[in-house]
Amino acid sequence: MNNNSFLVSAKGICIAAFLSFNTVMFAQKTADISTISEKTLSSILEKNRTYYTKGKVADYIPELGNMDAKAIAFSVVEKNGKVFNVGDVQKKFTMQSISKIIALMIAVSEKGETNVFDKMGYFGTDQPFNHFSNLETTGKPLNPMMNAGAILTTSLISGDGEKPFLKILDMVRYITKNQTLDYSTSVYESEKSTGHRNRGMFYLMKNNGLISGNEDQLDNYFRQCSIELTAEDLAKIGYFFANECVRFDGDSKYKNAEMSRLIQSQMLIAGMYEFSGEYARTVGLPSKSGVGGGITVSVPGKMGIGVFSPALDQHGNSAAGYHMILDLVKQYDLSLF
């Protein structure tokens, strides 16, 4: 055998070994995911429980400041719809910005993606969630995940008065299969009375010709942010968008692969605000946070994850929640990358 033949033969053996190794590793990953249990989640939760001490409960909305900083919950909904819950799983908290992905789904369903995104961008950002961004330059919000874009998104949902909000609430109830969900009137009133920055965005966009209605539309935004749910509900929302808008129990009434891709792509590039880029590097999954302390996560084609811990980091994301997600992703190699 000459040297060239030897090299070719050796190369072939190496490639075969590599492919065989990858096949084994892939099989192991699949098996590993199926071993997720409440014991697994409990271990991760306990490891990260004390991260609340490194965060701060949101108090710029006074009513949110009453949340128990030590509360913590962790939920997963598997591919077969099986639910795993640990921690304070009965504890309710408000959706806040997580409601933006539901509003976006409804607005795009009604108006079409082109019409919605003609008024805003697909861009990420290096600014906080309540930044005015380029409203005074191009006049359009950067994306539907920041407050300005979310306020605009809700204003695009058809219907007078509370109808746009009720559509959002009904959709959250459908996805979670939980008809008892409602909004907190005390948080709504607190948000409305202190939401002057959001009010400024609303009127600036109205001045730019993007919004034609009155403050009823902004009230709908405050209401949708005040919808109360649990970590399990968030896991079911994550599952829904991870699986082409099919509900955890298999109900495919809203099945839509393109909608699923749109929502998840926005979650990935802007769902964690200015932390989204670093989050994509460390976690690598479509996720949406809210200043109520919740984060919903979609593992495309596989599962939904929901976490809750109200103490927030400097970006407005749950401190303990982020670390629980990070540990689960590392343990089961769930990152897209």
| Integer CA distances (angstroms), 132 to 126, 135, 137, 298, in order | 12, 6, 10, 28
| Integer CA distances (angstroms), 190 to 62, 181, 225, 226, in order | 6, 19, 11, 10
* Residue 298 is labelled as binding a ligand: no
* Residue 83 is labelled as binding a ligand: no
* Residue 24 is labelled as binding a ligand: no
Q: What string of H, E and C letters represents the secondary structure of 53-119?
A: HHCEECCCCHHHHHCCCCCCEEEEECCCCCEEEEECCCCCEECHHHHHHHHHHHHHHHHCHHHHHCC
* Residue 273 is labelled as binding a ligand: yes
* Residue 191 is labelled as binding a ligand: yes
> DSSP letters of 209-273?
TS--S-THHHHHHHHHHTBEE-HHHHHHHHHHHHTTT--TTS--TT--HHHHHHHHHHHHHHTTG
* Residue whose tokens read 């959706």: 95
Binding residues: 97, 147, 191, 198, 221, 273, 291
Binding residues for substrate: 97, 147, 191, 198, 221, 273, 291
